[in-house]
Structure 1
Amino acid sequence: MSLQLDTPLGIEHRRARQREEARRAILDATELLLIESGGFDFSIRSLSKRCGYSAPTVYHYFGDKDGLVDALLEERVARLADAIERVPVTGEPLADLRAVLRVFVGFGAEHPTFDRLMWTVSSKGESRTTPAMERLTARVRPPLVALAESGRLEGADVETAGQMIWALLHGLSALRVIEPHHPWAPNLGERALDTLLRGMTQPGADGGRR
């Protein structure tokens, strides 16, 4: 059944689509400016020129520059969470953990603004967070708990192991932000991740770590 656009429901549907199109255009333009400027040193005025929407419209949807960056970060983290949630759960905790973390590493390498968004702070000097982060934790923590309960974590509890993993991931992210043009070794992220996982776990029942 087609939606009649001149009915109240049709009008609201059209307005909702227009709002989403405006948000999408503004966020896409923000990402382009991030890539071009190498940071957040751009004005709402320049963003307005790039996206085709007035500065008041940008402020209406996002409040201020912090709100704009928060919205872009939430969208990118949600996209990462979507990719991670598509990773099959095999029931072998180390394999499941490695598969999820490899998606994280690959996502940062494929999306040049993601690392910078992860590292930016608000105008008040506060670290940014996003509700979608909880979805990432929901896929990383269970295999760590399973490894700990089976006695396969080497000299670390779940919290310490989690901190070791995030330290590695954020370290890789920082390298890409600080030295984006450095000739980093091929598959550096995956190789560093595999080395960490080998060092912090004991072999499974089959005697292997892979």
Structure 2
Amino acid sequence: MMRSIFGGRLGIFGVDRIGRDCKARSRRLQPSVDGLERRELLTVAAGSVTLSAGVVTIVPAPTGPSTAVVSYQTVGGVKEVDVNLNGVDNYFGLGTVGLVSFQGSGSSGNETFQNETGLSTNAQGGSGTNLFIGGSGLDAFYGGSGTNTFDAGSGYDVLVGGTGSNTYNATTGSGLIIERGSTITVNAPPSYTVI
């Protein structure tokens, strides 16, 4: 009834409605994209990644599985070192990294360390199941007290077994294998020295 009186007799019903529609449109959410700041250093509950004096140190969480992958990525048109720990990217300038060190010796979880670069790496496994994958540079891998699998890269690799079960796999490259542990399996070409 009020609608018909004000709308029909005063002729303002249509004006109010149009006016309200314009105001409603101006208050609607306008989608936009904001850029995120660049991440240089990140510490998460699942471990930490830090850079000091040219050494990137990766410390996995004490328990639970951890996966660290070192690779090259292009960010904003610039090639950088990406240290991905459990799905979180940590970017470092290419000229600022000389060594990547994975410190898993204090962890009881399953750990994977993979080097997809030519950077030198040093990785230590813990008491869980450890998988080490080498890159095209110098890799030094030290097994833990759990089950250790070493997949050597195309560079020079030093593979030192832990006190648990150790499997050494190499198809290319060269290096040194130091046999230790309760169960030992070596699959390596003659370019590797086995001690």
Superposition TM-score, scaled by structure 2 size:
0.26
Which one has the bigger strand percentage?
A: 2
Larger relative CO (CA 8 A, sep 6+): 1 or 2? 1
Superposition TM-score, scaled by structure 1 size:
0.25
